[in-house]
Every structure is written in structure tokens, then in C-alpha cells.
A = this chain, B = another copy of it.
Amino acid sequence: MTEHTPQQQTASAPQKTVLLVTAHPEPRSLTSALSAFAADHLRAAGHRVEVSDLYAMKWHASLDADDFPDRAPDERLDVLAAQGEATRAGRLSADIAAEQEKLRRADAVVLQFPMWWFSVPAILKGWIDRVLTFEFAHGPAVPPPYSEGALAGRRGLLAVTAGARESAFTDRGAHGPLADLLFPVQHGVFWFTGIAPLEPFAVYGSPGVTPERFAELTEEYGRRLDGLFTDEPVPFRRLDGGDYGRDMRLLPGVEEPGTDGLALHVGPRG
């Protein structure tokens, strides 16, 4: 564990701001316990933590016309156009605007969730769909994707619990490698918007977590949270870094030796 000096722990000015988004319907769940641990641990290290507990907030999951209060009721809903217009005008619904403010303030984003059907729960997908609007998180008016990105300067950590055993999520595991299953979020959400993604923190065999195992897990999670601003992010390639052609395909021979599949989009480490 990283040592924290009393100065760090009691500093009146917080070191960094972390947005923790958590998604489980049961306040006594493993997800909720890990979220509470993360918030406490980060605060003890002197950080400012904002928590978006999506179920507690009764977060509306489905993007719809109510996201755009200024829109005429009979107007055809073009999602990107409506998002862009409302974002530029500062006229998104209040729940979306509040989350965007949290993201603006954040130096890091932690998404804490149970893996449901090899992906994020619907309520968390709905946070992604609705909050990361066109012209806020991507679009011609903000820095380009997979490069600097609209939310550049921030770090992202996925903290996920899965019911199955770890071997099933390895390189030859039947469910697919965890990195591949999470690629749409790690690369397609975090890195697309410029958030530098860390290796996910994953808990396997989640239904069988005993108090002893929970203590081990939080020790490991604590180390990962201690490294939130210092660990090396996954070095996904920049779209403007010369590795991709104008057709957005990776140029021949650019890949790291021995890589294949989605790992082609990871550049040299360290």
C-alpha cells in the first residue's frame, strides 16, 4: 500500500477530484461495498470524491426526447443533432447537465459495476448514452477522438465484478478475454473521449466472496486506487499518431510483435 503522509491526509485543498459512478440496485451488494470502500480510500488519501450512485439517483437510462427540453414536441428526433444543439445552447435536461459538470470537475472517472451479459448494466449504459453528448464528449467542436479527445487529461478505471471464474476470461477463455469484452468501454468510451484508461480492476467469482476474500480484494483495490494518477494507462494508439491510414485502418506492420485481435490497437508499453 502507498504510504500517505498526515499532510496528504488532512490537506485542506483536495489533491484531485474523482468521479465514482456506481451501478447496482442493492445497497448491500458487493458492488456497493466496493464503491463505499473506494470512496473512503480516495478521501483518506486527500482526494475529493463525487459519487453518482445511479440506482440511488433513479437515473433515467433511456435516451429520449426529454433529454432536450427546448425541442418542439413534433420535431423529428435526430439524436446527434439534438445533442449537439442542446449541448451548445446549455439546454440539456438537468440530470445530464449535472453529470457533465461532474465530469468537467473530475481528474479521474471510476465506473464500478457488475458485469451483466458481458457488458455494463443498462443503467450505466444509459449514463454513457445520455451524458456523453455530441459536442460535449465528441464532435467537430471538441478535440478529436482517440487522440487528445474532448475529456483529455482525465484517467479512467473500470472496476468490475463478474460471477464466473477468471480462467474463462483469459486469452483462450470461453467468455472471451476481459480486455476484449470491455474494449467497447475502455477504447470506445474512455479512450474515444480522451480519457486515459487504466487496466481494469476485476473481481471474479463474485457470488463466493467471503469476508476474508473481501479484505484481500480491498487491499488490491486500494493499491489500484493509489495508482490512479501514477500507474501507466493502457497505451491505446492515437488516431493522429501516424499508425492509422485515412480509412481509419491500422497501417500494415505497425502492430507490436505477437499481438492480434483488438490488442492491435495497443501500442508499445512503458
Binding site for B on A (CB under 8 A): 25-26, 28-29, 55, 59, 61-65, 76-80, 114, 116-123, 125-126, 128-130, 132, 146, 163-165, 167-168, 170, 172-177, 180-181, 183-185, 187-189, 207, 239, 244, 247-250, 260-265
Residue of B nearest to A29 (CB): B77
Contacting pair B118 A184 (CB below 8 A): yes
| Min CB gap A150→B, angstroms | 14
Q: How far is the CA of A178 from the CA of B185 in the complex (A)?
A: 15
**6 A-B contact pairs sorted by A residue (CB < 8 Å):** A25-B64, A63-B122, A170-B249, A174-B244, A174-B249, A176-B187
Q: How far is the CA of A183 from the CA of B244 in the complex (A)?
A: 24
| Min CB gap A194→B, angstroms | 14
Contacting pair B25 A174 (CB below 8 A): no
Q: How far is the CA of A177 from the CA of B180 in the complex (A)?
A: 11
Measured between beta carbons, the chain B residues less than 8 angstroms from A188 are 117-119, 175-176, 181
Q: How far is the CA of A23 from the CA of B188 in the complex (A)?
A: 20
Q: How far is the CA of A123 from the CA of B126 in the complex (A)?
A: 8
Contacting pair A62 B61 (CB below 8 A): yes
Measured between beta carbons, the chain B residues less than 8 angstroms from A250 are 172-174
Contacting pair B122 A119 (CB below 8 A): no
| Contacts A167-B247, A181-B184 given; does A125 touch B132 at CB 8 Å | no
Measured between beta carbons, the chain B residues less than 8 angstroms from A176 are 183-184, 187-188, 262, 265
Contacting pair A184 B132 (CB below 8 A): no
Contacting pair A62 B121 (CB below 8 A): yes
| Min CB gap A57→B, angstroms | 11
Known A-B contacts: A26-B77, A26-B78, A62-B123. Give 13 more (CB < 8 A). Answer: A26-B76, A28-B76, A61-B123, A80-B163, A118-B184, A121-B129, A122-B128, A165-B248, A167-B248, A168-B247, A172-B264, A174-B249, A181-B188
Residue of B nearest to A263 (CB): B261
